[in-house]
Amino acid sequence: MSQFLSNCSVDALATAAHSLQVGSLVAFPTETVYGLGADATNPTAVSRIYEVKGRPTGHPLIVHIADLKYLEQWISDIPEYAITLARKFWPGPMTLILKRSELAKDFITGGQKTVGIRIPDNSLALGLLEAFHNLGGSGIAAPSANRFGQVSPTTAEAVQEELGNYLSDTDLVLDGGQSSVGVESTIIDCTGGLPRILRPGAITIEMIEEVTGLKVSNSPKKKSDEFQLEDIRVSGSLENHYAPKARVFLDQQPVVGSGFIALESIDTPIGAIRLAAPKSVEEFARVMYSALREGDHHNLDSIYIAQPTGDGLAIAIRDRLSRSAKGR
Ligand code: TXA
Ligand code: MG
């Protein structure tokens, strides 16, 4: 069982940074979902992330940093458009895939020549990262703090529910309340001439095209190019992921006794159990993972979801829900 820290003071963050320095794991809030953090330069600590998550090794991890000044040490090259994206959207729900430096070892990148980097927009995460950098740390590797293939946690309680049995006494869970965005960061491959979205999120195609003045690439994969998509393992892109215990059905008429998630404007069908009624697409993203968990708490067999339509964040929501619906 890990220790649970709420109302994190500067002292608590320094304690947590020290835990990372000595090789323990620290789960922490970000604006997207909670992360399970380890010192990104410590292979033993990073291998515990895989153990605790039950994640197959070889999947690359995102390195979190506090500020752009810590980026350079992790990468060997960055295109102009990626600098523009970093300046505009960091701290924020965006991960950039860049050519790695020597510091980004195979145990972080899954043996690929690229590394994923993100500056999260959450005061506790940034406080933890600053405290860790102050101790000489280079960055915190953190996947979402859930067991492999399951629903990402958006509260500290959900982290405890997912990983409590797998964390040890010296690991920590920082409680920063509910994540404000609720779906994982947009992952953008910045190793080609144009940005390419590997995982949709709250930083949308429209936003990327507007600030860079470039078209987001949708060109097919090419075998010859070392950095093309097919060489990149994105576990969040596996078909069955983000799945609760209940079976998820999309845009179908719910059966009696099943859970139901839809925008507030859609009435609850007779006999269904309303799990969430978000007022906007943003709120939909924020509450959808906790609503899926709520369905599992009620031991529901099935959860029916009326998906939000349209572009922007709705694309990320439908991406995750389509994978939830593939089951485990
Ligand atoms: O919002 C987020 O991104 C959260 C918070 C904690 O920051 N993290 C997160 O991590 O979602 P994870 O490991 O659950 O998903 C990250 C995805 C994985 O699918 C991984 O394969 C991909 O990012 N990834 C990491 N490094 C990569 C790289 N060098 N190339 C391609 N994909 C990479
Ligand atoms: Mg994940």
DSSP string, 115-126: EEEE----HHHH
Q: Which atom of ligand 1 is nearest to the CA of 118?
A: 7
**Phi and psi dihedrals of 113, rounded to 5?**
-90, 15
β-pairing, 172-174 vs 3-5, is parallel
**Buried/exposed 87-99: b ≥16 CB within 10 Å, e otherwise:** eebbbbbbbbbbb
Q: How confident is the model at residue 9 (pLDDT cuts 50, 70, 90)?
A: confident
Give pLDDT, residue 22: 98
Q: Which atom of ligand 1 is nearest to the CA of 201?
A: 1
CB 13 within 8 A of CB 127: yes
Distance 152 CA to ligand 2 centre (A): 6
Whether the per-residue pLDDT at 222 is higher than 60: the answer is no
The pLDDT tens digits for 90-108 are 999 999 999 999 999 999 9
CB 93 within 8 A of CB 121: yes
Whether the per-residue pLDDT at 220 is higher than 60: the answer is no
Instruction: Give me the mean pLDDT over the 120-129 stretch.
Output: 97
Give pLDDT, residue 21: 98
Whether the per-residue pLDDT at 223 is higher than 50: the answer is no
The pLDDT tens digits for 21-47 are 999 999 999 999 999 999 999 999 999
Q: Whose CA is nearest to atom 7 of ligand 1?
A: 35
> 3-state secondary structure string, 146-159?
CCCCCCCCCCHHHH
CB 182 within 8 A of CB 317: no
Whether the per-residue pLDDT at 230 is higher than 50: the answer is no
The pLDDT tens digits for 44-75 are 999 999 999 999 888 999 999 999 999 999 99
Q: Which residues contact 18 (CB under 8 A, 6 or more apart)?
A: 135
For a mutational test of ligand 1's pocket, the pick from 25, 50, 62, i.e. the residue with the most ligand atoms closer than 8 A to its C-beta, is 62
The token duo for 300 is 């529901």
Taking 3-state DSSP, the helix, strand and coil percentages for the chain, each rounded to the nearest 5, stand at: 30, 20, 50
Instruction: Give me the mean pLDDT over the 169-184 stretch.
Output: 97
For a mutational test of ligand 1's pocket, the pick from 184, 186, 320, i.e. the residue with the most ligand atoms closer than 8 A to its C-beta, is 184
Return the number of other C-beta atoms located less than 10 Å from residue 256's C-beta.
Answer: 9
| pTM as predicted | 0.94
Give pLDDT, residue 240: 64
Give pLDDT, residue 7: 63
